[in-house]
Structure 1
């Protein structure tokens, strides 16, 4: 495993990292109403989250986004590691899109107006998978 990102990996890592870090920082001081909304949407899709306190959930989500965003921005964090973390994070976001009622138009995968905000995260999945695949191929 390489311990420094390849130069061509930096633009997608920087783009994804900046967006995710900004999102995490934005949630760091979320009020109770915002926390309840974020937790409610996540808990409806992922029932194991229902018993978690909304403020604690939002705080944890914020910290995870800050950690992931920072890891993507720092080029000496291995791309295999950041790619795997980004893939998991993006898969969770796309799960919200696929499982939350009203996010998709009836009978397909095309997003409704409400779903546009979540379906756009497919680019994060593409970046994460691209980093993982490249690093696994390079290990051969």
Structure 2
């Protein structure tokens, strides 16, 4: 539960919870009145007994009130339930004769008590949308961080591979240079055989160093995939 949601959830949750507890104590006449009123707007309740309807409504309000008060229930879930409950009460207000004026929206003196239930819809939608937008923002930030880390890893791998290749080429060039220096340093016809041997050794060493550098480059690139 976000700290900014606490006042709204506590206020609405406590009100609805108390209303549900009060309906459990409703008498037969009050139950008949509530059932008749609800079934006239929502025919699905006509086949229910008045007592059963009143108890079901009471338990629904108690459950919704508890969900709003419990911090472990996400605001998106609690807000959606609150908005649905408010829509049901608003439907009673709009569809019951005598509750609205001629425009069908503004309440009459008798409908004022029901018209105020529209705030439940606004409160529920506020909780649900804020929670959803907050979760979307966190998800987008996580994706951005993941992409940034991946890009950094790839860049590091390419840099390391390039460095390994450069070191290998430098080593190969150094080996060739040493071989040539050895060859130039040898003089006399009697040393010709030693000269050719020095050149061959330098070329062989350079080839090995270059092969190792290319292998390191390939391993580094493949390892970052």
Give me the TM-score of the superposition, normalised by structure 1: 0.94
Match of residue 13 from structure 2: 17
Hey, what does 2:64 align to over in structure 1? 68
Ranges in structure 2 where 5+ consecutive residues have no aligned partner: 137-225
Q: Give the aligned partner of residue 39 of structure 1.
A: 35
C-alpha deviation, 1:81, in angstroms: 0.7
1:64-120 CA distance string (max 9 Å, x none):
101101111111111111001101100000000010001001124110111111110
More helix by share: 2
Deviation of 1:126 after TM superposition, in Å, equals: 0.6
| Residues 27-84 of structure 1: CA deviation (Å, up to 9, x unaligned) | 0121110100001110011011111111000000000101101111111111111001
2:135, 2:70 → 1: CA distance? 21
- Residue number among 124, 131, 149 corresponding to 1:128 in the alignment: 124
Superposition misfits of 4+ residues, deviation over 6 angstroms: none
Q: Computing the radius of gyration over CA atoms, which structure comes out larger, 1 or 2?
A: 2
Q: Distance in 2 between matches of 1:51 and 1:35?
A: 14
- Inter-partner Cα distance in structure 1 for 2:104 and 2:51: 34
Alignment partner, residue 148 of structure 2: none
Q: Using the alignment, how far apart are the partners of 1:87 and 1:107 within structure 2?
A: 24
Does the 8 A contact of 2:94 with 2:104 survive in 1?
no
Equivalent in the alignment of 2:185: none
State the partner residue of 2:113.
Answer: 117
Q: How many residues are aligned here?
A: 136
**CA RMSD, Structure 1 to Structure 2 (Å):** 0.8
Equivalent residue, structure 2, for 1:55: 51
* 1:7 CA displacement: 0.5
List runs of 5+ in structure 1 lacking aligned partners: none
Counterpart for residue 98 of structure 1: 94
Asked if the contact 2:83–2:124 (Cα under 8 Å) also holds between the matched residues in 1, the reply is yes
